[in-house]
Amino acid sequence: MKTKTALRFAGGYGLSVAVSGVVSLAVIPAIIVAAGADAWATIAVAQAVAGFAFVFAVYGWGVVGPTEIASRTRAERGAYFYDSLLSRFWLCIVVVPIAIVVAIVIVGHDYALAALTVSSGVLVALGAGWFYVGEASPIRFLLIDTLPRIAGTVLGAIVLIATGDVIAFAAMQLLGVLAAAVIASWNILARHRDWRFTLSPIRAVRNLAGQASPVAMSATSSVYVNVPIVLIDLFLPQATAVYALAERIVRLALYSTRPVVQVAQGWVPNPDPVVQASRARRVTVVALGLGVLGGLVYGIAGPWIGELLSGGTLVIPFALAIPMAVNLAAILASQLTGFACLTAYGLTKPLATSTIVGAIVGTLLMYPLLLWIGAPGVAWGLGIAELCVLAVQLLSLAPRIRRRQPVGF
């Protein structure tokens, strides 16, 4: 991808990110102030359950789909998308009810809110954002995939503020997700007619062949990303709302940097190994700098941001903000070293290994640290796990980007 093309694509994609980010920020105080901290905690836990279940509903197409679409001719894209949609449809039929039951058991109350929130989070798997990324259509990504979902959230927030009905908010959000999936599917299948209608579950299962690796990697990563809030809710429920707020700020910060990752993914690969090594070095330096900067900002301003977003209802203590800052810093760096640099060299095995190492470390540390120092302990377990992920990636990347001859940096 040429630099100008990458920047144009990232600009369009970045607009989607900006719109989603602004709405997500605005919705947080709306929920906490209008519906209360308990409803916010229920939504956060249900979204964590949905985040893990989503991995099995989307079944790797979000990871491999963009590359597959980009590498196929226009005449082959419709059939590929329909096959994925067929499989994702049947997977959602199986996954959504299970995820709802799990969320209700964990939360123990607000059953309707938990069920609607889980459904919204899982059914995003029926969306087509990855297809538009693959065909380099950032405007379609914005207008067809992003805006309908955002419209549902915004309308729900307006109803919530006006009536205090958090169930209506969750229902409107679900309608937005479904609208985006239907509109996007119609748009793609109308433009690409090389597909044949079928609802065969057998064919749906056959389409899953070869997808196990990205699913396993995504599921492993999802475990230690989404389990912390569940642990908090089970063993320290009084801290759930504050921890959820601290975690949400981290996720919004990561979401806001997606365009940077997109640009780097298209810029690092180059047929000249010397040029590619030079670019990978630059991106690695940027990654580490971005991580340090993001971590410092969160560590210093996190409590103030949390208080602002919650309307003064919730306060993130520095004891929690500091490990969350470490967590954010490590992920900001590793998303660039991993998805931009390691993938450019085809080092998918070290990338998967780093994820597995992080999952093992996080799983081993979070529960003991929770019992020892409470909610900050979970954050420290997650932060240490993400530092291990970054360390594995840097060790794998170092031999490839080491300067062997004078090259302009």
Confidence of residue 404 (pLDDT cuts 50, 70, 90): low
Mean pLDDT of 96-125: 95
The answer to whether the CB of 170 falls within 8 A of the CB of 160 is no
Q: What is the structure's pLDDT at 297?
A: 96
343: DSSP letter = G
The answer to whether the CB of 30 falls within 8 A of the CB of 164 is no
Query: Which residues, 6+ apart, have CB-to-CB distance to 372 below 8 Å?
Result: none
Confidence of residue 205 (pLDDT cuts 50, 70, 90): very high
Number of neighbouring beta carbons within 10 Å of residue 5: 12
Q: Which phi and psi (to 5°) does residue 315 adopt?
A: -125, 125
Confidence of residue 271 (pLDDT cuts 50, 70, 90): confident
Confidence of residue 347 (pLDDT cuts 50, 70, 90): confident
Higher pLDDT, 150 or 266: 150
Please report which residue ranges of 236-374 form alpha helices under DSSP H: 240-256, 258-267, 273-309, 318-336, 348-373
pLDDT tens, 19-78? Answer: 887 888 789 888 998 999 999 999 999 999 999 999 999 998 887 788 788 778 888 999
Mean pLDDT of 154-168: 94
**For residue 308, what are its two tokens?**
């602002």
Mean pLDDT of 304-329: 93
pLDDT of residue 260 exceeding 80, the answer is yes
Q: What is the structure's pLDDT at 409?
A: 38
Q: What percent of the chain has pLDDT over 90?
A: 62
Residue 353 burial (10 A CB sphere; 0-12, 13-18, 19+): middle
Q: What is the structure's pLDDT at 13?
A: 66
- Among the listed residues 199, 36, 48, 192, the one whose alpha carbon sits nearest the alpha carbon of residue 110: 36
- Among the listed residues 20, 40, 44, the one whose alpha carbon sits nearest the alpha carbon of residue 32: 40
CA dihedral 239, 242, 243, 249 (to 10 degrees): 180
Mean pLDDT of 362-377: 92
Rounded distance between C-alpha atoms, residue 159 and residue 268, angstroms = 45
Q: What is the structure's pLDDT at 408?
A: 43
- Among the listed residues 398, 167, 356, 390, the one whose alpha carbon sits nearest the alpha carbon of residue 288: 390
Number of neighbouring beta carbons within 10 Å of residue 93: 12
Q: Which segment of 99-108, 176-185, 187-196, 252-261 scores lowest on mean pLDDT?
A: 252-261
Amino acid at 153: T
Mean pLDDT of 10-18: 66
Tell me the DSSP string of 159-204.
HHHHH--HHHHHHHHHHHHHHHHHHHHHHHHHH---------HHHH
Mean pLDDT of 123-136: 90
Q: What is the structure's pLDDT at 113?
A: 96
| Residue-wise burial string across 171-192, b where 16 or more C-beta atoms lie within 10 A, e elsewhere | bbbbbbbbebbebbbebbbeeb
The beta strand positions in 57-111, using DSSP E, are none
Rounded distance between C-alpha atoms, residue 184 and residue 144, angstroms = 6
Mean pLDDT of 378-395: 95
The answer to whether the CB of 370 falls within 8 A of the CB of 320 is no
**For residue 98, what are its two tokens?**
């299970």
The answer to whether the CB of 6 falls within 8 A of the CB of 266 is yes
Amino acid at 72: R
Q: What is the structure's pLDDT at 11?
A: 54
The answer to whether the CB of 268 falls within 8 A of the CB of 397 is no
Q: Which segment of 127-141, 288-302, 379-393 scores lowest on mean pLDDT?
A: 127-141
Q: What is the structure's pLDDT at 7?
A: 46
The answer to whether the CB of 27 falls within 8 A of the CB of 95 is no
Q: What is the structure's pLDDT at 403?
A: 65
The answer to whether the CB of 95 falls within 8 A of the CB of 57 is yes
pTM of this structure: 0.83
Rounded distance between C-alpha atoms, residue 166 and residue 34, angstroms = 8
* Average pLDDT score over the chain: 89
Q: Which segment of 1-15, 107-121, 164-178, 280-294 scores lowest on mean pLDDT?
A: 1-15
Q: What is the structure's pLDDT at 1?
A: 47
Q: What is the structure's pLDDT at 296?
A: 97
Q: What is the structure's pLDDT at 378?
A: 94
Higher pLDDT, 221 or 168: 168
Rounded distance between C-alpha atoms, residue 331 and residue 167, angstroms = 33
Confidence of residue 264 (pLDDT cuts 50, 70, 90): confident
Confidence of residue 12 (pLDDT cuts 50, 70, 90): low
